Amino acid sequence: MTYPLKDRRIWVAGHRGMVGSAVVRRLESEGCEVIRAGRETVDLQDQHAVRNWMSQEKPDAIVLAAAKVGGILANDTYPVDFLYENLMIEANIINAAHLNDVERLLFLGSSCIYPKRAPQPISEDSLLTGPLEPTNEWYAIAKIAGIKLVQAYRKQYGRDWISAMPTNLYGPGDNFDLQSSHVLPALIRKAHEAKLAGSDHITIWGTGTPRREFLHADDCADALVFLLQTYSGDVHVNVGSGEDIPIHDLAQLVCEVVDFNGEIRCDTTKPDGTPRKLMSGDKLREMGWAPKIGLREGIAAVYRTHFAEDDPIRGASVVNI
Ligand code: GFB
């Protein structure tokens, strides 16, 4: 199956977010027209506004990267926001895409959709086979609903739409707010600020024993464009690096990159979350895609981009739309 992007009009929903902006960069070489719509243009939580906007813009394809995202503490603290806002955004966009005959749609989920104790590495068929991780079950349920809605439109209306499940992502334009961010940007910022302050330690959340898989946003964007062009199937596709690392070792790696030599302390009043969520990348590898950016190299690039001249910390809001 091939879907040539040249001369197509592709809406990147969530174009300002870390993933959305990486997809916009990746599409630059495809000869397509990228449609952008900030929330000043259309409120994605307003069904009427989304239908009106879509009927005027009539994109040929949509990369649905708009979502309310955040780390473990934000997810655990704002369950209504993570469930309700993500349900509204995806339902409005997917339904309006159907009403406007959008040819291709790629829905973006997350690796937290899988059961807390799924056998590792986690394959796509582990979905809905066990209880979710409590700290982010609301976001997970919203994303599972999105996967199912895409499948429903394939089944009932023959829509050639697909879903992708990225692992924990990091990259340029990440959220560095220490309360709402994911672990990797938080550790980069903590090590950097400790170095500037001459502090003798940084404090990480939890025990440092959970393991996480990381993929650079530019690798993720490359995989998403690859799938948009080549994949058609009911089953969602995992997008990961295929390697995971204990959080404590990640903190050590970040300190090496930042050149901070202090102690790494653990605040065990904060949650660990799921012990591990390494995904199987076999399905995507068999299609011929593989990541290019190694973790150390990727962290160093993010550090240069956001902290080299000690940029003001871009504490992006929790809402990356
Ligand atoms: O990245 P993170 O916030 O989210 O946390 P999840 C990953 C691990 O890093 C957890 C630990 O065990 C955290 O306790 N950690 C250590 C820290 N220090 C820090 C810190 O300073 N900040 C943060 N944020 N974590 C998310 C889901 O789960 O995964 C989202 O909540 C999404 O919905 C995302 O699915 C991909 O990996 O635990």
pLDDT in tens, 1-48: 899 999 999 999 999 999 999 999 999 999 999 999 999 999 999 999
Query: What is the C-alpha to C-alpha distance for residues 142 and 169, in angstroms, rounded to an integer?
Result: 18
Chain centre to alpha carbon of residue 84: 18
Place of tokens 């994911």: 182
pLDDT at residue 313, rounded to an integer? 54
Sign for the CA dihedral angle at 182, 187, 188, 189 comes to positive
| Residues 169, 57 contacting (CB under 8 angstroms) | no
Six-digit token string for 190: 């903590």
26 Cβ contact partners less than 8 Å away, ≥ 6 residues apart: 218, 221, 222, 224, 225
User: Is the Cβ atom of 72 under 6 angstroms away from ligand 1?
Assistant: yes
pLDDT at residue 318, rounded to an integer? 34
pLDDT at residue 285, rounded to an integer? 98
| Residues 74, 179 contacting (CB under 8 angstroms) | yes
Ligand 1 atom at minimum distance from 168 CA: 36
Enter the pTM of the model. 0.95
Q: How far is the CA of 207 from the centre of ligand 1 (A)?
A: 12
With CA atoms as reference, report the closest residue to 184 among 135, 244, 124: 244
Q: Is 139 a catalytic residue?
A: yes
pLDDT in tens, 250-288: 999 999 999 999 999 999 999 999 999 999 999 999 999
User: Is the Cβ atom of 193 under 6 angstroms away from ligand 1?
Assistant: no
Positions of the chain with pLDDT under 50: 315-321
Set 78, 114, 139, 231: catalytic member: 139
310 Cβ contact partners less than 8 Å away, ≥ 6 residues apart: 196
User: Is the Cβ atom of 18 under 6 angstroms away from ligand 1?
Assistant: no
Six-digit token string for 224: 């998403």
Six-digit token string for 98: 């159907």
pLDDT at residue 319, rounded to an integer? 32
